[in-house]
Structure formats: C-alpha cells, structure tokens
Structure 1
Amino acid sequence: MKSMNFIRVAAACPVTRVADVATNIMNIKKCIDQAVEQHAKLIVFPELCVTSYTCADLFLQKQLLDQAALGVKELCAYSAGKDIMIAVGSPLYAETVVYNCAYILFDGDVLGIVPKSYIPNYEEFYERRWFSSGREIIGHSVDLSFQKSIPFGIDLLFQSGPFQIGFEICEDLWSVVPPSSYLSLAGAQLIGNLSASNEVVSKADYRHALVASQSAKCIASYLYAGAGTGESSTDVVFGGELLIAENGNMLAKNERFQRENQVVTSIIDIDRLNLQRIKNISFREASSTVPWEVRKIFFTYKNTEFGVFDRAIDKHPFVPSDVKQREQRCSEIFNIQVAALAKRMEHTGLKKAVIGISGGLDSTLTLLVIVKTYDLLGYDRKNIITVTLPGFGTTDRTYQNAVSLCKKLETDFREVNIVAACLQHFKDIGHDPAIHDVTYENVQARERTQILMDIANKESGLVIGTGDLSELALGWSTYNGDHMSMYAVNCSVPKTLVRYLVRYVAEEETTKEISEILRDVLDTPVTPELLPKDAEGKIAQKTEDIVGPYELHDFFLYYFVRSAFTPAKILFLAKAAFADVYDEAVIRKWLDVFIRRFFSMQFKRSAIPDGPKVGTVSLSPRGDWRMPSDASRDLWLNEL
C-alpha cells in the first residue's frame, strides 16, 4: 500500500558478548533477517552493539577498534539487496579521536555516520574517558577502509520518497534540547535512538514517558533500541528495552531482560504525522530555530510494502479502549461541560435553565450536566425547567424515561403536547399531515424549539442545547429547530462518546434509581421520533437506518477532520477496523453519505450557538473548523 504512506519499522536488541564482535555481528544479522521477513524498511539497533557498550578501557585498544570497523564492513556488505535501512552502533576512530556513532547502512553502502552529541560523565557513566562529543560536527565526511567520503555529522537527514529519517544516540534524548528536535523541524518524521540505558528502579517508567513525550513534541515516530542483558554486569544491568512511539502514542514495546534476540515492529503512518505538522503553526514557526543547514542523503527503497496490516485501528477513536482510561476521559469531559455551563450561568446572572427532554441519549446527558452544574453552583434544582414535548412519534418508553428522570432529579418538570399546534401549523401553510415528509418532521422540531425559547423568555432562563458533534457533522438537525439554543454543552461530544458519558454517570455519579433509568435510555434506539409510531406503539423511525451507523460516521469524522485523510485512506482504515462488522460495500456506501452530508450541511455549522470544546475534534466556526458553506465536494467523492 505504498500510496497510503505507511512504513513498517523495527527496533532490535541482539544477544551480545562484551568485546566479541564476531558473535555480535552474527546476532545482528539474525535480527536483520527477521525484520526483512516482516517487511520492515528501517531497523534500529542499540548503542555500540557491534562491540557492546560496556567495553570500557578496551575502547582504547586498537585491536577492538579495528575489529569493529571490520564488523561494520561485514554488515554493510550484508545489507546489499535487502531493501532495509540499518542503523547500527559502533565506535569510529578518526584523526586520533574516537566517537560513539550510528552507522546508517543501506544496500551495500554506508549512507552516513551520526556521532553522539552529548557524552555523559556522571553517576554510572564515564564515556568521556573514551569518546569525544560530535555536537560540533557539521558538514564533515570521513573515509573508511572500504568506502570514501562518507557524510559524517549531526546534520544528516536520510530520505527516500516521502520518508525522512534522522538519528540520535542515547544521552542525546536526555538533553535539554535533543538533536531529534532539530532533525524533526528539518523534516524527519522517523527518529531512531541507538541507546544503552541501564536499569534501576522506576527508570523504565521515565524512559517510556520520555520517548512518548519526544515523539509528541516532534510530531514524529520515535524508535528506541536499548542495549540488552549481554552487556557487562560488573556494576549495572541493561534490560534491552525496545520502544516504538508515534506522536505521543506507544505503538510497540517488548518485555525487558530477555536473553535471546529481540525484534519489535510497527507500521507508522507518515501521512498522519505530516498533516499534524501542517496544522501545527508553532511547529512550522520553530523550523527557523534549527542552528545548521541539514544535509539530505537520498536513497531509494525498491518498495514500501509493509506485509500484513497489523497496526491497531480502533473502531471508536473518540473512546479509549482501556476501561480505566475511558473512565478518566469521561470524568474529565463531564467536568469540562459542567465548568463551561457554570461559567455561562454565572456570567449571565440567570438562575434558570430550560431544556427539552425526549428520553434519548443527548438530552439525558445535557440534563445530567445541568444538574451537576446547579449542584456545583449551589443553585436550586427546581430552577431547572425540564420540558417534555410529546408529538406524533413519541413512544411510551421514551416518554416514561423522560418523565421519571426529571422527577427523580427533582427538576421543575413540565409537559407541552405539540400535536395540536403542529396540526394548526400544517393548516396554516397548507401541508397535508398525511404526507410524512421533511416538512412534517421539521414543523415538529421548530415547534419544540419555539416553545423552549418562549419559556426561557418568560422565566428569564437559558435554553441549553442537546445536539452532539456527530449530528453537527451530518447536519442531522432542523435548521433553527433543534439546531438552535442559547448554549450547547454537547457540541463537541460525538455520539459514540455520549453513550459512554451517560453510562459513566450511571455507574459513578448517581443513585441506583436514577442509574436504572439511565440504563434503559442507553438501551433505547437512537431516534428523533418525528414520524408516527408503529401499530404496536413502538419506535418507527431509527436514525441509524436513515443516515447510517454512528460508529462509522464518528470514525469517518475523526480521520477526515482530525487527521485530514483522503477518502481512500479513510476507507482503507475503516475496512481494517470494521472487518468483523461491515463489508467494504457497506462502509463505502456510508462514507459516500458522510462526505455528501458533511459538505452540504456546513451552512448549519456556520450558525451554531456557543459551546465548549472537549476533545481534539470540534466543528465550531469560531474555533477548529472554518469551511465555506458552498465548497465543492467532487474532489473527495471522486476518490470513492
């Protein structure tokens, strides 16, 4: 899938013996073969793995330095025809100075040599005894016995097509301004770190956080390869940790302290990194701070096939798959909504809120937010005016849930039946009520909003909107009907997350009686109830039968807005994520619907009320999403 700009990368820890170059080379080759078999295009090895890191004063011995050079030569020859970039650690003896280096090998050549910038000389580290810093080496080249004029320095960036790769070594990452920061600003989306970080209590946690954080700061993928248990244990122990992170997310890692060759791989999404950089103005502006001009070393992969697509793609990208993380996310979002509404209520000086309650998920979540806000501010819940507005399609189930919830929460509950008013309006505009078209539906939606607005005027209150992010994306609201309110607390909460938020409140923040009502709301199909109920009095209109599954639309929304992916790439990812749920034809059908509705309904999003941003995706015209209402969608539809 070369056109998708994915690339499989690997981090490896070979079994090593101290100062035994032959054994080390043998195991490095085995790791290379394993990575090639898994279709990896880049493999990063630990620091000084050709000799082992813990050779100490043996690094001053000519025999070891000469043997290391021969080992690099052997690996270079071994790389020929393998179509994989190899970053391997070995000393470099040049002009009476020894450097701790990363040798970058590809298809029989040394493409470049990157020296370690920061040489630690504190606590258990004494590297300055043997190695010099390469921090000032820019624009240089060196000769090896088997290859001349090899680019040498910290300013090297290696590029094949859209893939740009940079390297740093161990302590470089721990410095205040790591070289990888500059390499990323110069274009590198992939950073390799050849490391030898010993193990002490809790150091692994810090290392994980450091790697993840640097990948996020650099908007890059970070490949970390640590020296393993074959290193000398005279004073310290090395765990051989391997980590692959992408923009703050840990994609792959191994178990430490293994005693055999270790290789971990992951597929990196270069498009995602590039597009995040485009959106991040601060990243772009920081590029001017790079203190040297990068030297690009060009090479060419024969192909970038990544084998089986085993990158984890979550069906519900807005909802953490980990239960503990999901609970934390729900708690944080719920509190953001509450804090936002509390500020608006205090600012207006109003003590009353008006909300239409349907018995569905969105209005239920909004009511729960209002109740917690009132409890936080010390306001009387009787100033929450909850209005149920039964119409032609209202069923007993949703009606009873709405009534029970409002009464249990001790709100000022009111009921206004809209049937007579709607029939009068049909008569006024000359519409046959037997024709159940969009006019039939929208009359009801606008009548409900009019009633809520008028009650708010009468009671000096605020109408709190219930619509969610998914409905905004699809334009699934009646313009100047449920589309409108005086403040909208759900406006950046997608439908898939609304469900989890209601469940979170049911499990963590309410009484058993109210929890039972909430659970029944959760079990009710999503519906606007604007068409008459069926002969058995049950819901006849199910939203997802009309516009498609919300889990698909939320998936499309996330990757269209958050990642700015093309429809073809979104389709590819959706097929991978939902392979056990929907076939390609179904996914393609609803993706087409999503694109059509997203473009045609922008005019509704251009006129939405205020509301808080709670996550990474928002469609507010004042914030994250600014789009012409009359933009053509043809370019996107033509990809499907």
Structure 2
Amino acid sequence: AYVNMVGGQDELVFDGGSFIYSPEGELLARGPLFEENLLIADIHLKKNHRKNKQIYFHHEYQLDLINLGTLAHPRGETIKPRIRSAPRGLSEILSALVLGTRDYVVKNGFKKVVIGLSGGIDSSLTAAIAVKAIGAENVIGVIMPSRFTSRESLEDAHALAKNLGIQTYQVSIEDIVQQYESALAPAFTGMPRDITEENLQARARGNILMAFSNKFGWLVLTTGNKSETSVGYSTLYGDMAGGFAVLKDVLKTLVYKLSEFINREKEIIPQRVLVKPPSAELRPGQKDEDSLPPYAILDRILTEYVEKDHSVAEIIEMGFEPQMVKDVARMVDRNEYKRRQAPPGIRITPKAFGRDWRMPITNHFTNFMNNFQIK
C-alpha cells in the first residue's frame, strides 16, 4: 500500500491517489487524485502468506495471546475495493490548480478572494478556478475600466461574473490616472507618451485591488500567466500586485485550452473572450502581438528554452526564425528581476520559475550570449 500526501503547500500541490497492490502486481484499490479520501480494501492475508512463503524466508515465533475484549465482530461480507479512475490531461491540470488555490486561501486564513476582471481570458480563467476552489460567494470581482477599455470587454466581464454568480464592483480608473498624469506633467514636459503612461493604468488598478484587500481582508489573486511572466509582459506593482498567482506556471496557449475545457458542458467563460485577440487595452488598438510573437509560437520557444534547457542555437536549429528566438531569449534573461518580485503560484510543470529556475539578476550573460552563442 502506498499512502500519498494530498493538498497544496505554498507553490506545491501533492496529488494523492493512494493505492494498494497485491504481491503479484495486481491493482486492488486506488483513491482519487487531488482530494482527500478514505481507501479501504480487504486483503486475503493467509492466501498471500502461502504465496509469499515460496519467495521469502519466514521465521515463526511463539507469542502470548492478549484478549482485548473490545474488538468489533468481523463483518461477514468482503469490502469491495474501489479503483478510482485517474484524471488525465486538462482535467488533471485543472484539479491541481483548484486544489492548490483552495488550500493556499484556506490554510492562510483567508475567507474571500478579490480579482480584477478585465473581460480577458486570463482573469476569466482565474475567476472560474477560484469559484471551483472556494465557492462563488467567496469570490469578488472588481471591474476597473479606463478610456481604452472597449465596450465588449466591459460586457464580457459582467457576463462572466453573472455566469459564475459572483459579486462585482465597478471602479473607474480614469480620474485616478488623470491625477497621476497631472501631477507628473511638470517633470515630463516635452517628453512623448510611452509605456510610462500605460503602466500608470496598471498600477492604479493594482492600488484599487490592494485597497479592497486591506479594507476587507481579502486575498488578491493575480491573473498573469507563464508566457507573460517569462518575457516580462507585465507591470511591477500593477497587474503583478497580489498575494497568489493562480496561473503563474500556465502558458497562454494552455490558458485557452483550460478555458475551453471548463466550457465543455456549459458556457462559463463568454465565447467572445475565447476568440478575440488578447489585449491589455492600455492604448488605442493595442494587441499583445504588437509586442510579442504569436502565443502559439512564443510558447513553443519558451518550452524549449525554459523548461527543456535548450540553447538559443539549438532552438534555431529546430526551425524557428532566428531573430525571434534571440529576442525571446533576451526578454526571458533580462526580466529575472520582475519574476523575483512576483507572488507565489502553483507549480504544474517540470520547471517553474522560482526554485526550479535559478538565475542571478545582476549578470552579463545576455552580452556573453550575444557575442559567442548567437551567430
């Protein structure tokens, strides 16, 4: 019999699935994965003993019989062992994310969580996982539009909240951002608008979520995924601000697959969220692919570079566009400082950022790579 730990501990998730095998290798009973369970099976000890005597040496001892007098009468029927089917693929990943989220929230004494709902795929999946983990009544969504937020995104955020049955607040960041810009205008005179003004919006949203957290004692769940974390496509003290990162080790392409899996029986995440181009909506007409390769390609490069430890040269030999591989590797290497400041999150891959990925922040590796490794 193998008794396996089950539950979440910080970034780790133990999957359970305890099982009992006969001496012949026959599976007699197996518990479920990712949930606590009492596993019971009757084993024919005398039968097994006779078989074992053919294999092992045994010593017999004379022992005194002690009658406790309190033992229950043995049951006349044999308990039929259960062999629970093990979830595979997307079901297994989703179960791990749900269990890891639930145990982190509960074991750290939180009653509720708060999530910024943008109407995008990442916040939608994070909210859906949170509801599965701790119940809709314990999940709060905050919708924080700006002048760049599309009508469709607002509608999708509200539709998601309705489908999940969660409470929402809507707080505009427009006045807050304008106050920031007005206060900074004297120092920024004559300088063009750039990513600075975009990040002010993300940081305003982070401040609002942390205000809800401070006021009500709710845990902020961040919504960034592994693809964004890898290349630094996130804002320090903005969308990275929070206490737990549910999708920290989930690549963007897997985010879509998990969202479709959740919708397999009933539409929880609005269909439009699944098909519209991903965008941070921090400037007019912005799309993620303005700054990054298509996620289908980016995630394949990240898998080879981060999870499989292949060099840039090796990845280029696989047929990827050389300059794209160089750019992705450079973004991964120079954004270690951001990842060090990210909240903890659930590990589901063989190599997650953190203990599995040990890179110094201060280094000249990128220059070395440019000079010697990439031709």
Q: Where on the TM-score scale, by shorter chain, does this alignment land: which range?
A: 0.7 to 0.9
- Give the SS at the match of 1:472: helix
Map of 1:77-156 to 2, 5 A cutoff? none
> 1:392-419, CA deviations, whole angstroms, 9 ceiling, x for partnerless residues?
3111111110111112211111101101
- Give the SS at the match of 1:633: helix
Cα deviation, residue 435, structure 1: 4.4
Work out whether 1:342 is the aligned partner of 2:102: yes
Map of 1:35-54 to 2, 5 A cutoff? none
> 1:294-346, CA deviations, whole angstroms, 9 ceiling, x for partnerless residues?
xxxxxxxxxxxxxxxxxxxxxxxxxxxxxxxxx93211111111111111121
Whether the 8 Å CA contact 1:600–1:630 is kept in 2: the answer is: no
> 1:505-550, CA deviations, whole angstroms, 9 ceiling, x for partnerless residues?
0114xx34x35x1x21110111100003xxxxxxx00111212222
Match of 2:279 in 1: 527
Work out whether 1:489 is the aligned partner of 2:257: no
Whether the 8 Å CA contact 2:173–2:205 is kept in 1: the answer is: yes
Structure 1, unaligned runs of 5 or more: 1-326, 376-380, 533-539, 576-583
2-side partners of 1:546 and 1:561: how far apart?
20
Cα deviation, residue 595, structure 1: 1.6
Work out whether 1:427 is the aligned partner of 2:182: yes
2-side partners of 1:567 and 1:596: how far apart?
10
1-side partners of 2:159 and 2:311: how far apart?
46
Whether the 8 Å CA contact 1:469–1:492 is kept in 2: the answer is: yes
- Give the SS at the match of 1:507: coil
Q: Given the superposition, is the C-alpha separation of residues 457 and 559 from structure 1 closer, same or farther in structure 2, using an over 3 Å criterion?
A: same
Whether the 8 Å CA contact 2:305–2:329 is kept in 1: the answer is: no
Cα deviation, residue 637, structure 1: 3.0
Q: Given the superposition, is the C-alpha separation of residues 346 and 558 from structure 1 closer, same or farther in structure 2, using an over 3 Å criterion?
A: same
Match of 1:633 in 2: 366
Match of 2:56 in 1: none
Structure 2, unaligned runs of 5 or more: 1-86
Cα deviation, residue 449, structure 1: 0.5
Q: Given the superposition, is the C-alpha separation of residues 549 and 636 from structure 1 closer, same or farther in structure 2, using an over 3 Å criterion?
A: farther
Match of 2:168 in 1: 413
Map of 1:211-610 to 2, 5 A cutoff? 328-375=88-135, 381-430=136-185, 431=188, 435-508=192-265, 511-512=266-267, 514=268, 517=270, 519-532=271-284, 540-573=285-318, 575=319, 587-610=321-344
Cα deviation, residue 634, structure 1: 2.5
The Cα RMSD (Å) is 2.0
1-side partners of 2:275 and 2:248: how far apart?
22
2-side partners of 1:364 and 1:396: how far apart?
16
> 1:262-310, CA deviations, whole angstroms, 9 ceiling, x for partnerless residues?
xxxxxxxxxxxxxxxxxxxxxxxxxxxxxxxxxxxxxxxxxxxxxxxxx
AA matched with 2:362:
D
Higher relative contact order (CA 8 A, sep 6+): 2
Whether the 8 Å CA contact 1:558–1:617 is kept in 2: the answer is: no
Q: Given the superposition, is the C-alpha separation of residues 552 and 637 from structure 1 closer, same or farther in structure 2, using an over 3 Å criterion?
A: farther
2-side partners of 1:408 and 1:503: how far apart?
15
Q: Given the superposition, is the C-alpha separation of residues 557 and 604 from structure 1 closer, same or farther in structure 2, using an over 3 Å criterion?
A: same
Q: Given the superposition, is the C-alpha separation of residues 440 and 433 from structure 1 closer, same or farther in structure 2, using an over 3 Å criterion?
A: farther
- Give the SS at the match of 1:339: helix
2-side partners of 1:432 and 1:384: how far apart?
43
AA matched with 2:221:
I
- Give the SS at the match of 1:547: coil
- Give the SS at the match of 2:300: helix
Whether the 8 Å CA contact 1:387–1:415 is kept in 2: the answer is: yes
1-side partners of 2:158 and 2:370: how far apart?
44
Work out whether 1:614 is the aligned partner of 2:355: no
2-side partners of 1:527 and 1:433: how far apart?
28
- Give the SS at the match of 1:464: strand
1-side partners of 2:88 and 2:156: how far apart?
27
> 1:476-495, CA deviations, whole angstroms, 9 ceiling, x for partnerless residues?
11111112210111000011
TM-score of the pair, normalised by structure 2: 0.72
Q: What is the percent sequence identity of the aligned residues?
A: 33
Cα deviation, residue 452, structure 1: 0.3
AA matched with 1:409:
L
Whether the 8 Å CA contact 1:465–1:484 is kept in 2: the answer is: yes
Moved over 3 A (4+): 431-436
> 1:64-84, CA deviations, whole angstroms, 9 ceiling, x for partnerless residues?
xxxxxxxxxxxxxxxxxxxxx
Whether the 8 Å CA contact 2:142–2:170 is kept in 1: the answer is: yes
- In the alignment of these two chains, the number of paired residues is 285
Cα deviation, residue 348, structure 1: 2.2
| Structure with bigger gyration radius | 1
Q: Given the superposition, is the C-alpha separation of residues 545 and 527 from structure 1 closer, same or farther in structure 2, using an over 3 Å criterion?
A: same
